[in-house]
Amino acid sequence: MSRKATMTNELVKKASIDAFKKLNPVTMAKNPVMFTVEIGLIITLILTIAPSVFGPGEGAGYNGIVSIILFVTILFANFAEALAEGRGKAQADSLKKTKQDTKAKLLQKDGSHKVVSSTDLRKGDIVLVEANELIPSDGEIIEGVSAIDESAITGESAPVIKESGGDFSSVTGGTKVISDSIKVKITTDPGESFLDRMIGLVEGAKRQKTPNEIALNTLLVSLTLIFLIVCATLVPISSYVDAAVPVATLVALLVCLIPTTIGGLLSAIGIAGMDRVTQFNVIAMSGKAVEAAGDINTIILDKTGTITHGNRMAADFVPVGGADKNELNQIAMETSLFDETPEGRSVVELARKQGARGERPAGAEGVEFKAETRMSGTDFAGGRDVRKGAVDAIKEYVKERGGKIPSDLDDKTVMIATEGGTPLAVSEGNRILGIIYLKDTVKPGMRERFEELRRMGIKTVMCTGDNPLTAATIAREAGVDDFIAEAKPEDKIAVIKKEQAEGKLVAMTGDGTNDAPALAQADVGLAMNSGTIAAKEAANMVDLDSDPTKIIEVVAIGKQLLMTRGALTTFSIANDIAKYFAIIPAMFMLAIPQMEALNIMRLDSPQSAILSALIFNAIIIPLLIPLAMKGVKYIPMSAVKLLNRNLFIYGFGGVVAPFIGIKIIDMMLSIF
């Protein structure tokens, strides 16, 4: 999905129509502040038709002007929300065009295939997808390798290589196979695909309010009730001093004093925040996840594929204990005969280049890698077994079988780890023959990215299954604050729980099935679209570009959302101070001449003062819509500096702007 402009003619036109539809009182009741304004509009409309229905007051002309201004105020607030919703719906419509009923080649038990509709596919079905065909539904590649065009979802034109095995076998329905053919095991039923969920998530109208938003809404309702009581008490007070206040003026005072600015923009700010995340090709499962990102204290990053490129490839075989190099080559290849991961294939390819020979023999069985054992290999007929894995895991495996540990194993392990490589020990039975030297490199610019997080006050922790020396080298090169080596899935969860127990919010990025538990435990879990289905289902955000460092943008957007809401709330409440000095003196200075001292703006007349404040109250909403949509610019700095900066700009600015604006409007009205 490409980034869209804040406003287009089509969006503005649609939002303008929806703004009128939202005038429905049932819809307006969901926003108590603006609903109060609508009730005020109804009262002033009645006074326009029958000026004396509530007793003596201003004429129909004055009441009519107040009604028009109130109507425009409501319309502007509705327009802001409709515009934010419209942007989400436009993205959803774009995705719906991608989602289409395609034909699928459903494989039968006899090896043949049957052409069926994609809507007839069920979880567990296996389909054949050939070059230039669309993948009918979400699934995992179980056989083959292919270039996949994911531009319909990610907006990126470059194809992505997907293959069976490992963490890059997940494919999304609606994407296109560019080359070769693949067999895909369907992992979702109709209506449950990733694309279906994306469509629902980007539609802003379905967005649930976040806890912070609910709390702020409660505050706004409380302020509205307080000012309603204040305005109601003015009636007996004014009667006591023989200064009757017209009902339309009381309505105008109430509307100006209640936080209509933030009340009209609150929903739009939240929707726009989620939309900004979407524009970065990140799908947020909820607004709560976006807000939580803004308060993140710690980020847990998986090393492979996140900090490093993730394509660890066999670079060399290093014999230990006097083992023959050719024998090590052969055994290393045998350990990887059943390993379909890119890493395993690189071992086989390197071994064959160095003279090893052999295919999968009859009766042999592959031993899959498990996070608990941290090793994999092959069991041959007759009881012979070969293994590769973490050095300490292989050492324990060999010791249990009565084998001895070569004296130079640790030294050569340290040498490879110090160079930033990953050492995998190779064993046959109770013998350790050598080490597979796997190479991986840190992604460019990672140090600068982590420095940026540090300026935000966020701690970075790298989790990896590598040994401590390799982990330390990569951590030093990347510039993370801390690292955890030889980490199992439960270790990642443990560090997240530890940080959370200290009152911190934690974010986690990952792409593998072994990352899923930690992604679910974290306050913000960002899964890679290229990763496994399990990872994407466990996370509350999915990055369509599969760029783990994008968590930095997500954090910045979360902070921007919170800052925007806080800034506009401060501005809205600060506005009331100036409106107070405009309206209160105007209401009473004819009956109480001493009130003239409060007319510090020297407004032309009581009616002009009230209308000027009311007009300013209306036009400030559309003027702030671009800021609500784009968000307050986030600059990495301490929380105290940010608070002081925003208080000055939006607090002091919120007091000064109405004084200037109301005075200018009053001068314009006095001309007429």
Element at 561 (helix H, strand E) = helix 551-588
Q: Which of 138, 302, 547, 576 is catalytic?
A: 302
The torsion angles phi and psi of 589, rounded to 5 degrees, stand at -70, -20
Nearest to 83 by CA among 2, 3, 1, 17: 17
Q: From CA 324, how far away is CA 423, in angstroms rounded?
A: 18
Nearest to 337 by CA among 317, 364, 313, 315: 364
The torsion angles phi and psi of 405, rounded to 5 degrees, stand at -95, 125
Rg (C-alpha) for the chain, rounded Å, is 33
What is the b/e burial string over 605-614, where b = at least 16 CB atoms within 10 angstroms of the residue's CB? Answer: ebbbbbbbbb
Q: From CA 129, how far away is CA 171, in angstroms rounded?
A: 11
**Does 302 qualify as catalytic in the annotation?**
yes
Q: Please state the length of the chain.
A: 672
Nearest to 182 by CA among 131, 108, 137: 131
Q: Would the annotation count 371 as a binding residue?
A: yes
177 CB neighbour count, 10 Å cutoff: 23
Q: From CA 672, how far away is CA 667, in angstroms rounded?
A: 9
Residue 544: C-alpha distances to residues 79, 189, 286, 433, 453 (Å): 30, 21, 16, 43, 22
55 φψ region: left (φ > 0), alpha (ψ -120 to 50), beta (else): left
Q: From CA 543, how far away is CA 555, in angstroms rounded?
A: 13
Both ends of the chain: CA-CA distance in Å? 51
Nearest to 630 by CA among 555, 556, 561: 561
CB-CB contact of 548 with 524 (8 Å): no
Q: Would the annotation count 339 as a binding residue?
A: yes
666 CB neighbour count, 10 Å cutoff: 22
- The residue assigned the tokens 């003026």 is 249
CB-CB contact of 526 with 292 (8 Å): no
| 176-177 β-sheet, strand order | 160-163, 145-149, 176-177
Burial category of 658 from C-beta neighbours within 10 Å (exposed 0-12, middle 13-18, buried 19 and up): buried
426: Cβ contacts below 8 Å, ≥ 6 apart: 317, 328, 331, 332, 335, 386, 387, 388, 394, 432, 433, 434, 435, 436
394 CB neighbour count, 10 Å cutoff: 25
Enter the DSSP assignment of 652. I
Q: Would the annotation count 359 as a binding residue?
A: no
Q: Would the annotation count 76 as a binding residue?
A: no
CB-CB contact of 298 with 504 (8 Å): yes
Element at 452 (helix H, strand E) = helix 446-455
Q: Would the annotation count 488 as a binding residue?
A: no
Q: Would the annotation count 515 as a binding residue?
A: yes
Q: Would the annotation count 381 as a binding residue?
A: no
CB-CB contact of 601 with 659 (8 Å): yes
Q: From CA 430, how far away is CA 440, in angstroms rounded?
A: 29
Residue 199, token pair as written in the block:
């469509």
> How does strand 298-302 pair with strand 459-463?
parallel
Nearest to 122 by CA among 108, 98, 133, 138: 138
Q: From CA 587, how far away is CA 250, in angstroms rounded?
A: 9
Residue 399, token pair as written in the block:
């010791």
Annotated binding site for ATP: 339, 343, 369-376, 388
Annotated binding site: 339, 343, 369-376, 388, 511, 515
Active-site residues: which are they? 302
Annotated binding site for Mg(2+): 511, 515
